[in-house]
């Protein structure tokens, strides 16, 4: 027999929304199980039961925005720490990229609840995603995420062919073997890394293990979304038809 699961957890597993959003929708009576409204938090369902969202939940999701920032050095990805400001403070009208192709107009409500979908170290630059949409966060940083992240990494030191192979596969961090990566020379002092995971300071620590020192790190792509020409410190919206 199938074991019952919390409704909010099952909704997140199905990619309908995040668990936090699921609790919000349940409390508002926007969730049906096998056609019946379920509005009690903590309710459980069987895996085979059909879960649907009310049109009001779909409308709420449609109004949530995702922001792409070209993060400069000196900003942290999430909450302020050690006197450094979070990158979210950059999401103000004066920093909105004038060539934003999304067609979305800025509204004050777009700032509320923006959370980073992935880290970018304080001394790293490039593409950082902030989102109000739990579905986007789950896709990018969920336990089973396979979305690629691409980086240009400037390094100092010598790298043998065998150590380059190790960067591609064979290293471990925190007692766990790293997933296969794609690493190759971009030019004489810069490597291109493509990863599908994001351990804390992963690239810098990988480079240390093979005797390299990272002197610059820039994220240029997440999935299908490129950093492109967004100026440093500016941002744009993820467009309605764009997908990671």
Cα 87 to chain centroid, rounded: 14
Cβ distance 215 to 209 under 8 Å? no
Go through 27-37 and write b for each residue having 16 or more CB atoms within 10 A of its CB, e for each that does not: eeebbebeeee
β-pairing, 66-71 vs 125-131, is: antiparallel
β-pairing, 235-237 vs 176-177, is: unpaired
Query: Could you give the CA distance from residue 35 to residue 22 in angstroms, rounded to a whole number?
Result: 17
Query: Could you give the CA distance from residue 43 to residue 104 in angstroms, rounded to a whole number?
Result: 37
Go through 156-182 and write b for each residue having 16 or more CB atoms within 10 A of its CB, e for each that does not: eeebeeebeebbbeebeeeeeebeebe
> 208 φ, ψ to 5°?
-60, -35
Active site residues per annotation: 121
Question: Which parts of the chain fold into alpha helices (H)?
Answer: 7-13, 19-27, 55-62, 134-141, 161-168, 202-209
Residue 58's SS3 state is: helix
């Amino acid at each position: 027999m199938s074991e019952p699961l919390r409704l909010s957890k099952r909704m997140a597993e199905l990619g309908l929304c995040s668990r936090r959003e699921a609790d919000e929708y349940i409390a508002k009576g926007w969730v049906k199980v096998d056609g019946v409204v379920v509005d009690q938090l903590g309710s459980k369902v069987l895996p085979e039961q059909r879960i649907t969202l009310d049109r009001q939940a779909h409308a709420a999701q449609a109004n949530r925005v995702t922001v792409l920032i070209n993060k400069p050095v000196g900003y942290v990805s999430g909450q302020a720490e050690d006197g450094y400001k979070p990158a979210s403070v950059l999401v103000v009208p004066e920093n909105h990229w004038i060539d934003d192709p999304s067609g979305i107009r800025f509204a004050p409500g777009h700032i509320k609840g923006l959370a980073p979908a992935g880290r970018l170290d304080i001394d790293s630059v490039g593409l950082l995603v902030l989102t109000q949409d739990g579905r986007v966060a789950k896709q990018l940083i969920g336990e089973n995420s396979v979305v690629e992240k691409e980086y240009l990494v400037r390094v100092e030191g010598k790298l043998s062919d065998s150590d380059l192979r190790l960067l591609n596969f064979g290293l471990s961090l925190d007692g766990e073997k790293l997933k296969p990566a794609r690493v190759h020379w971009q030019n004489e002092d810069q490597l291109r890394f493509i990863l599908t995971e994001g351990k804390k300071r992963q690239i810098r620590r990988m480079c240390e293990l093979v005797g390299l020192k990272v002197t610059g790190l820039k994220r240029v792509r997440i999935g299908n979304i490129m950093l492109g020409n967004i100026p440093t410190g500016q941002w744009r919206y993820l467009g309605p038809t764009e997908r990671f």
